[in-house]
């Protein structure tokens, strides 16, 4: 029996209703110059009570190292049946099909050389998780478009690096590409997970009820944190609950807190080239107010180069339990320019 047009419309409608009921979302994906809809697991299944994304800040100039990083993620970072999306934030490098296609073709070639995999199946499944999200950066009011007039710290990387600091310090929490996600895992283009993990890091965060995961801690340069000690000090003194939280977390001020000097030792930082963030925690109203106040004077980032790393460390210590709410991912063979932090045996969850 041949199908009439009305039958076809009914079957199509039924199929769409069925697909809509599945715990998947559809994302626009560019591959070899073509616009393709791909299914990305959204985590609305009650058996997976969280959602997650892996994010990068991508550029054409760093494509080679990013292909290596992504290939290692495909090999070594497994999240079970959860094929979370991989979001490549960019500032315009991947606006057009050509650069997108070239990057994905290079990744496809790299994945084809991975031993002991399903070959083409790995390529298609992994590549289908990738999509591009443009970020629109502009200098804030009060910062002239002239590096000589601004005279910023790290003038050679101004304003791109400073835009990046502002983005990851505060603006990322309101970016629409991350709306609806529980966690994001940030990696830099030169972040390399060099051996298989024996656990799903998102599951670790969920089961242990963590709000922040990190790989290493260390001081930022004093010349890149000028005035930050004083700012944190003033904010804590005017917010007794934050003052109390800093004390509970063992926050260490430079000698002579009452006479803080510019040029005091740099603030400690989470080296957040690897970080896992529970987004709702950093969207809390009190955290939002703190970050808004910090960003209110754009010179703090765009002249003095206050980095997202010490800002993240201060934020965690000001608003959360820095021990119980954080996870140190030491059981990971990880490099970023050089090996950072202590390593420990990988213990399955």
For residue 221, the 8-state DSSP code is P
pLDDT reading at 103 higher than 50: yes
Q: State the pLDDT confidence band at 339, using cuts at 50, 70 and 90.
A: low
pLDDT reading at 8 higher than 60: no
CA distance 280 to 287: 10
Q: What is the dihedral of CA 213, 217, 222, 224, to 10 degrees?
A: -30
Query: 77: helix, coil or strand?
Result: coil
pLDDT at residue 349, rounded to an integer: 84
In this structure, of 28-42, 122-136, 224-238, 293-307, the range with the lowest mean pLDDT score is 28-42
Can you tell me which residue has the tokens 């715990």? 23
pLDDT in tens, 114-156: 876 555 566 778 999 999 999 999 999 999 999 999 999 999 9
Can you tell me which residue has the tokens 């703190």? 290
* Pair of tokens at residue 181: 């996600």
* Pair of tokens at residue 43: 């985590």
Beta bridge partners of residue 339, listed in sequence order: 335
As a whole number, mean pLDDT of residues 79-108 equals: 94
pLDDT at residue 29, rounded to an integer: 40
As a whole number, mean pLDDT of residues 209-236 equals: 93
pLDDT reading at 49 higher than 50: yes
In this structure, of 56-65, 148-157, 258-267, the range with the lowest mean pLDDT score is 258-267
pLDDT in tens, 310-334: 999 999 999 999 999 999 999 999 9
Q: State the pLDDT confidence band at 19, using cuts at 50, 70 and 90.
A: very low
Q: State the pLDDT confidence band at 33, using cuts at 50, 70 and 90.
A: very low
pLDDT reading at 27 higher than 60: no
Torsion-angle region of 328 (φ positive above 0: left; ψ -120 to 50: alpha; else: beta): beta
């Amino acid at each position: 029996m041949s199908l009439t047009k009305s039958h076809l419309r009914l079957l199509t409608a039924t199929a769409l209703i069925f697909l809509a009921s599945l715990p998947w979302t559809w994302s626009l994906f560019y591959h070899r110059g073509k616009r393709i809809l791909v299914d990305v697991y959204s985590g609305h299944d009650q058996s997976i009570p969280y959602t997650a994304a892996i994010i990068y800040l991508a550029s054409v100039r760093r494509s080679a190292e990013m292909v290596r990083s992504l290939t290692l993620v495909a090999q070594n970072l497994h999240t079970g049946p959860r094929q979370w999306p991989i979001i490549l934030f960019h500032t315009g490098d991947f606006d057009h099909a050509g650069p997108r296609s070239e990057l994905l073709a290079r990744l496809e070639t790299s994945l084809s050389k991975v031993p002991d995999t399903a070959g083409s199946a790995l390529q298609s499944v992994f590549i289908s998780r990738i999509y591009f999200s443009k970020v629109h950066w502009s200098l804030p009011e009060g910062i002239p478009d002239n590096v000589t007039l601004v005279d910023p710290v790290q003038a050679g990387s101004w304003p791109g690096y400073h835009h990046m600091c502002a983005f990851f310090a505060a603006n990322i929490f309101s970016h629409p590409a991350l709306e609806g996600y529980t966690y994001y895992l940030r990696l830099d283009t030169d972040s390399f997970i060099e051996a298989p993990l024996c656990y799903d890091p998102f599951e670790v965060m969920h089961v242990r009820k963590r709000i922040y995961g990190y790989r290493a801690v260390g001081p930022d340069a004093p010349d890149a944190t000028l005035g930050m000690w004083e700012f944190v000090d003033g904010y804590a003194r005017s917010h007794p609950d934050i003052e109390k939280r800093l004390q509970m977390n063992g926050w260490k001020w430079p000698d002579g807190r009452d006479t803080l000097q510019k040029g005091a030792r740099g603030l400690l930082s989470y080296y957040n080239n690897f970080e896992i963030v529970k987004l709702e925690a950093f969207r809390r109203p009190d955290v939002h107010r703190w970050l808004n106040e910090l960003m209110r004077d754009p010179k703090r980032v765009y002249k003095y180069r206050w980095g997202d790393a010490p800002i993240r460390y201060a934020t965690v210590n000001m608003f959360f339990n820095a021990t119980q709410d954080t996870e140190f991912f030491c059981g990971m063979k990880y490099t970023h320019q050089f090996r950072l932090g202590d390593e420990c045996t990988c213990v399955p969850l």
